[in-house]
Amino acid sequence: PETVMAVVRLNPLYYFVGYFRKVVLYGTLPSLYENLICLFFALSFLLTGLLVFKKTQDRFILYI
């Protein structure tokens, strides 16, 4: 159903799994749209992780 697929598409791993399937299972190159979506999610999570790390790096070293 459409409502279920709309919820599934909110999960960022949906796009990465689809990307991996196209390359490994089907042997085709992903489209530019799929490349841009995966790049967007990867960069947004990288920036979020960097911001969280920079904000908590003083306390982070205590747990290592």
What is the DSSP-derived secondary structure letter of residue 55?
A: H
| Residues 4-58: tens digit of each pLDDT | 999 999 999 999 999 999 999 999 999 999 999 999 999 999 999 999 989 988 8
Q: What is the pTM of this model?
A: 0.78
Compute the 3-state secondary structure of the chain and give helix, strand, coil in percent, each to the nearest 5: 80, 0, 20
